[in-house]
Structures are given as structure tokens and as C-alpha cells.
Homo-oligomer: A and B are copies of this chain.
Amino acid sequence: MLRQISRQIKTGQKSQKFYYSSEGNNNASLVPLTAERYQNVKRGSYANLEEKDVKFFESILGTNRVLTQEDELNGYNTDWLKTVRGQSKIVLKPKTTQEMAEVVGHCVRRKLAICPQGGNTGLVGGSVPVFDEIIISTNLMDKIENIDVHSGVVQTQAGVILEKLDSELGEHGLMAPLDLGAKGSCNIGGNVATNAGGLRLLRYGSLHATVLGLEVVLPTLDNTKSKTGSAQILDFMTPGMKKDNTGYDLKQLFIGAEGTLGIITKVALACPPKPEAINLAYLGLESFDQVLVTFQKAKEFLGEILSSCEFMDGEAVDCVTDNLNLSSPIERQPFYMMIETSGSNQGHDEEKLSQFLEHLLENGTIVDGTMATSPSHQQQLWPLRERISEALLHDGYCYKYDISLPFDSFYRSVDVMKARLGDDIVRCVGFGHLGDGNMHLNITSKTYNQEIMDKIEPYLYQWISENKGSISAEHGLGFKKKDFMHFSKCPVSISAMHQIKQVFDPYMIMNPYKVLPST
């Protein structure tokens, strides 16, 4: 039975927006130090922070924007998943590109390693230091500089929080071209640095297309002879037009470089018009084959209005209902889907969606479902998908895998890992961006367990490689996955990446121990 127009969802607690946070991470000091858990990684021969460095940074930023107290630093040293922890002694918070260039310039001259940090919502240990890297936070670079309603292009500093950017754009009839669970904390510079995908990539495309301009502070000096020179600035903001074929599109290298080539300080982004009508269907299905059929039918019936096609397995939704006390508005099913439409005409869209859902029910493709046409009902449904990551953390430790796979091996990855891990674990769940071929395969145990880890890695990466997938669809490689790059990239590519690193970061000070495999 399909309930047209959502019935009230039973929630054990008031639906609340989850905010990731890099501050107030109370138990941060309980997270093992990265240097202790990963003993193979050795500190590079960088300079150590000295009092004179702190004085220099304070001369540029003032004392309020140079943090050195341990209790202030904990949140910046620890990742959101509480799986890695660095030992930085300092956090710098520039507000302008010029300030950024001056503090980075000092680090270049002194050979101090840097860890750039945005909202610190990364999931692969890329946004926190491994040892004592200087943390440079973009959080105070939060000015939206210009919104052009005619071209749909926004120019903004990198530290603007995604949700704030989207909300400002909304007031001009536009929307951010990406949306993700961490939107309340992640910032747009970090999104670009990690090439974030999110819930609506299948409709609005990748950041490689929507990012029209960047400004990047490089870890090189403007004038190598100067003892006081600031860092070089790459200005890709001009022209920042939708089309610009004047030479190599170098800004693309910084999209997904996870801060290892330079620090993104400004972004120009192409933004689509905010849709007039948004609808959301939440469906229950008996098998993954029916999930795939439903996706094909969604493309056929919904066409240009399809804006999101997510799936969750029963265990993933169980985790949200078990651990966060939310409840699902339909009977428990082996699989669920969230299918969203966005369009310019509510009547047309509802007609398309109704025909689609009727087709699925008539053919027995779905077992149950509910449809939400109002924003408030949609905001009650989305947490069943968006809060899975948070819910999994309540189990204890989460081994996170974010993979691309062809559809014929897509869900098999979960079955394979369940069979391999047996009763050693609390849960093994699959959910994610079906429309992009992107699976979040997550495994939990009560505490971190090296034996479980050794059963997962590199076995899972090998399996993904044999099945022609990517070992990181959207989260990146960061610190945790860098040494597995060869499962997705050929040796010639990896060698070229090392050379590219050398071009932009000749002193290897920018976010070291990340992305590139150890040599």
C-alpha cells in the first residue's frame, strides 16, 4: 500500500539537524594518537614550531586568531570519526587571502609543515594533522563576496559553511549545486578540496564542472630571494566564466587534492535555480534487483526532474532506528530508497511521480512507500538516510568505505564482507548514492580492532579493483587510504602525481602524509 502524501513519521525524539563540529569535541583526548596507532609513518624533517614563529603569526593575525592552548586545540587535532589524532601546537585563523599568504609564506621560509582545515568533517583523516603540522583553519574566511542572479555565479571565500551558502543563494532564487549530510559544518573550500559529491550529483553534476574559479595560496614564495615574502597566489577567479579554454585547466588539480597542493581561499561556483517544486518518495523493496529496476524506471518516468536516488539496506536503517531512536514510517524491508524530484511545475512533477509510483506498485517492484510533498515532511524523512553515519558511530568504532562499483557487483560487496567478517563485528551495512554508482560500505565493532582491520584491508580494496570499481568514490584518500591508491590508479598516473606535487609544493610542506602513497 502506498500512502500518497506522507503520514506523520513517528520519531522517538524531535527531529533535529545534526551538526558536525570540530570544536567542543569533549572526548577527543581519548582518541589514540595517530603517531601511536600507525607506527609506520615517520615525521618528516620539518622545522619545529618556536616562540619566534608564534610571535610572527600573532603579528599578522593578532593574538585572538592564533590558538595555542591545548584545550582549544583538541577539536582541531581530532577527526569527526574520532579515529585519528594529531599533535599540533597551533591553529591559525586568517580572514583574508593576504593574511593567508603571509602565514603560509612564513611556513615556507621556515619549512614548517601545514595542515589546512575547513569544517573538519572529512572521513579519511585528511583534515587533521598526523604529527605537529601547523593547522591553518579557513573558518573565519566566511564572506560571500558576490551573487550574480543573472549568470547564477556566486563568488565566495572558502570558509563559508555550505548550509549558510545555500541559504544565502536561496534568497536570490538559486541553490548550491551540492548538498551533503555535513552541510551544517563543512565549508565550501573543503568541499572543493575533497571534490565532495553528495546527494544530488546525479542532477547537478560534479564540482569539476560547477567550480568556475578558484583562488589558491601556494606553498611557494612570491620571490624566493625575499626573506619576508608572502606565498604565491594562483588566481583562477578571473575570468571565472562558465567557459574558459585558455590553457591547461589547472584549477581542476586542486579539486580533490585534499589540500596537498595549496590552500583554497576563494571559490566561484555555478549555481542552478532553486526549484519551485520538490517531492520525495521513501520506498521499501524486497531485493537489491528491485532497487536497480526502480532506478532504471526512475530515469525513464522522472527524467529531467530526478534530483536524488539514494538507497539504504535494512541494517543501515535499523542502525538509525536502534541508535538514534528515529522510526521509519513503513514496515521493515530488506531495502529502502529515497527518490527526490526537483522541478519548475508542481503539477507536472506530481503527475510524473504518481505515474512512476503506480507503475512500481502495479508491477510489484516496491512493497511499500510514502511520498512527501511538503518541506516539513521531507525534513522528517531525510534523517533516515542522512544520519546513518552518525548512528553508526554509536556502535563504537566505524570502518568506513566509500566505493564506486558497477551495478553487477554493487551490493555484492556488502554480502562478501558480511560473509568474511561473520560474528566479529556489530554491523556491516550498505547505503549511498545509487544514482552515481557510489556505495558507502560501513562496518562497526565495539572498539577499534586490528584483527578486523586486517581482515578488511587490503582484501576489500583488492576485491573492488578486480570488480573494476574505485576504492574512494567521494571521500578521498586522506591519511588512511593513501597507500592503497594503486588499486585504482596505474603506476604511470601515480608517478605523474608525485611530479605534480613537486611542481606546486617543492618543499613538501603542504598537508604531508596525505593522498600520495609513501615512496
Contacts and interface: CB of A to CB of B under 8 A. Distances in A.
Interface of A: 148, 150-151, 194-195, 197, 201-202, 205-206, 208-210, 218, 232-236, 238-250, 252-253, 255-257, 261, 273, 275-276, 292, 296, 299-305, 342-345, 348, 351-352, 404-407, 433, 436-438, 468-477, 481, 485, 488-490, 492-494, 496-497, 499-500, 503-504, 515-516
7 contacts: A218-B492, A236-B493, A247-B256, A247-B494, A252-B253, A273-B300, A304-B305
A342 B238 CA distance: 32
Contacts of A232: 492
Contact of A496 (B244, B305, B504): B504
A239 B468 contact: yes
A153 to B, nearest CB: 9
A151 B433 CA distance: 13
Given A243-B404, A244-B472, A472-B244, A493 B252 contact: no
A247 B304 contact: no
A265 B208 CA distance: 22
B304 A234 contact: no
Given A252-B253, A496-B234, A472 B245 contact: yes
Contact of A304 (B242, B304, B496): B304
A405 B209 CA distance: 18
B247 A497 contact: yes
Contact of A249 (B208, B236, B300, B490): B208
The interface centre, meaning the residue of A234, A245, A300, A438 with most chain B CB atoms within 10 A of its CB, is A245
A489 B246 contact: yes
Q: Which of A248, A253, A343 has the most CB of B within 10 A?
A: A248
A421 to B, nearest CB: 24
Nearest to A261: B248
A148 B296 CA distance: 12
A195 B343 CA distance: 29
Contacts of A474: 243, 245
List 10 tightest A-B contacts by C-beta distance, closest first.
Answer: A303-B344, A209-B209, A252-B252, A241-B404, A243-B473, A244-B470, A246-B488, A239-B470, A348-B348, A235-B490
A151 B299 CA distance: 11
A440 B255 CA distance: 29
A342 B304 CA distance: 9
A462 B516 CA distance: 41
Contact of A248 (B202, B238, B257, B468): B257
B470 A241 contact: yes
Contact of A243 (B210, B436, B490, B496): B436
Nearest to A196: B245
A206 B206 CA distance: 10
B242 A437 contact: yes
B303 A246 contact: no
Contacts of A503: 496, 499-500, 503
A437 B232 CA distance: 30
